[in-house]
A and B are shown apart, each in its own frame.
Chain A
Amino acid sequence: MESPLLHLALVGTPNSGKTSLFNALTGSRQKVANYPGVTVERKEGAFVTPQGRQVSLVDLPGTYSLRGRSPDEEITRDFVLGRATGEVLPDLVLCVADSTNLRLTIRLLLELKSTGRPLALVLNMFDIAKRRGVTVDVAALSQALGVPVVTSIAVRKGGTDDLLQLTDQLLSQADAAAGDRANTWRPLTVPELRATQREADRIIAATVSLPERPDTWTARIDAVALHPVGGLFILLAILFVMFQAVFAWAQPLMQLLSAAFDALGGLVHDQLPEGLLQSFLQNGVISGVGSVIVFLPQIIIIFLFILLLEDFGYMARAAFLMDRIMGGAGLHGRAFIPLLSSFACAIPGIMATRVIDNRRDRLTTILIAPLMTCSARIPVYTLIISAFIPPTKVWGLVNLQGLVMFGLYAAGIVSALLVSFLVKFFLMRDYQPAPFMLELPDYKMPRLRGIAIGVYTRAKMFLQRAGTTIFAMMVLIWFLASFPQPPEGATEPAINYSLAAMIGQAIAPLLTPVGFNWQIAVALVPGMAAREVAVAALGTVYAIEGGKEAAEQIGQVLASKWSLATALALLAWYIFAPQCASTLAVIRRETGSWRWMAVTFVYMFALAYAAAFATYHIAVAMGAG
């Protein structure tokens, strides 16, 4: 007979190795989703105990107490207390501790005891503790705490055997003793908090012996990695390698994917009769979704780096080094890596903001992430720069084209900092800024299995998104660009008869003040799919065969049809333009609200308009009209 599904929850402080234990127990049988209404990641997995019990395991957000000072911590508290909507009260709570660092976890465990839930303490990373000379009298600790204690080595095969055995044993007791103990938990006052920490310290003093010296490796690495100057250089070097990887290593894979989608599109084109279905599949579905999926290699590489650095223990150090530098603009130190990832693509950048636990800091970061010059803007920039900016040397050494490109990147960064600064002072004045208080964990060898699982779940999440929200957007944009169909014997390109053209024509008067003609307005509509699509769209509008491949040709045509002022205005527009439906869709998903998506769209649109307007008129005044 199959036993009923049992529910277990993992609770622990940040850096307690909770996630590696979760990975060890559940393997790749994991589901990552959001808790309803909040942006907190909900990780659930399944496993079967040696005695055949089916267990569903939830990895709760790391916390130092049950006070619930952030949305993440509220989830942990509500889950343990059975107050979380749509969740069942866990049959057993496993409190996970880093064996080398028990103080904070033991205090948390003493607080957890008052919830009345069946509880066990897992001394994780027991091998590392032993090697460092930490000895724990497990039996005495269990007796002093009044809860079962088990050791585990999440990263070693068989390292969780004891834990599994104990789980079986406790679950059979939990069945019998269910409802025995009442929940007496309430928020602790400061004196109570202090008293529990004292109690925890007393228990540790009686049952654990600590080595004299701290981890020498961590101290040695930190002497360099946290050096005020040297540390920043190391951070820069790591970033350089990361950038290199994202742009250089991902390139062949991206070209391969792009070619595969083109080939698939071509196949559909050849197999199906000319008509709507053919156009829908080739231009709407395959090239639309394909233009987003080509970013998968970049997303995998970015998350590989992020997870490696996080696992190694470096992320907290990067936040430490960047905290004051970013703080000037009202950003949290932890916003650094997400913003950096946004240079590749805002989508992984926005997804990576999950490392920021404060909601306000996270929202600010999400709002400004699309201002970082993503790789999709590069084709547009390159096209316009090579068509309009002469490759002359400035001051004898710098290429003017390169200088303009650099200027565009710098403009993005500067405006992002400005926006963050303004958000801090106007939008979120009453919101409590998070102080920077963060444990700097000891360095650890990254565990490849855990990282592989992490990258895999993120890639899956991205693909699911590409398959749902983004797909829907692509279909809409295809529809706009294809309907109504051109009349019989039409001489102009088909897009000129479509809804996109009507929208373009309709908004063209609005864009005249910034120097855009109606052709640009029309190209901006399919450009909503992904920024670089605008290049192909311009080609289509000016009836040039070959789309993206004919970039040079498009450039020549543009140079003859646009003024320099128009070209510069379009560049300025593109620094800010909210022209990427997928980014907006991700913002909607990650913030859980249409409101923030709308805020992002409106503010970026306003900035784009203002920047293009100013650029156009200054350029005209200087004689470039």
Chain B
Amino acid sequence: MSEICETRPPLPLGLARRGYTGTIQHLAAGGTTSSLPDVELESRLIELGFVEGARVEILHEGIVGRDPIAVRVDNITVAVRRREAMAVIVA
């Protein structure tokens, strides 16, 4: 699976669809429209386990605009809005 990930172009988790699986490459809090300051957003993401190398899978999507998303991050499930998930770069 890791080979597949490395050949794919990186994309923000906020754009991925249900069923997507990948690995976190890095966090880029700067480019999001989240209301949180960059440092705060990045800290919160790390505290919920979004760190480089963690395996992610999008398990569920909300009904309005496919938002929010339920993401499996290693062995826990986290709900985030796509707006904040834009800070997580996966491949």
Contacts and interface: CB of A to CB of B under 8 A. Distances in A.
A101 to B, nearest CB: 5
Interface stretch (A81-89, A144-152, A435-443, A569-577): A435-443
A135 to B, nearest CB: 14
Contacts of B61: 228
A440 B77 contact: yes
A478 B68 CA distance: 51
A319 to B, nearest CB: 8
Contacts of A198: 51
A214 B79 contact: no
A201 interface: yes
A373 to B, nearest CB: 26
Interface in B39-56: 39-49, 51-52
A49 to B, nearest CB: 33
Interface size bracket, B side: 35 or more
Contacts of B35: 432-433, 435
- Please report whether the interface of chain A is mostly helix, strand, loop or mixed according to DSSP: mixed
Q: How many residues of A sit at the interface, in one of the four size bands? A: 35 or more
Contacts of A69: 40, 44
Contact of B70 (A65, A194, A226, A435): A226
Interface in A38-79: 64-65, 67, 69
A65 B68 CA distance: 24
A197 B40 contact: no
A325 B68 contact: no
Interface string B16-29: 00000000000000
A210 interface: yes
Contacts of A181: none
B81 A436 contact: yes
B51 A324 contact: no
B15 interface: no
A210 B74 CA distance: 11
Contacts of A229: 63
A320 B60 CA distance: 10
A201 B67 CA distance: 29
Contact of B79 (A194, A197, A228, A316): A316
Contact of A65 (B42, B47, B60, B67): B47
A100 B75 CA distance: 9
B76 interface: yes
Contact of A214 (B43, B72, B83): B72
B62 A439 contact: no
Contacts of B65: 324
Contact of A437 (B76, B77, B79): B79
A222 B68 contact: no
Contacts of A197: 46, 49, 51
Given A432-B35, A440-B79, A442-B77, 9 more contacts: A104-B48, A190-B42, A193-B46, A214-B75, A228-B62, A325-B64, A433-B35, A435-B80, A437-B80
15 contacts: A103-B75, A190-B42, A210-B75, A222-B70, A226-B60, A228-B61, A229-B63, A232-B63, A323-B68, A325-B63, A328-B64, A435-B35, A438-B78, A438-B80, A440-B78
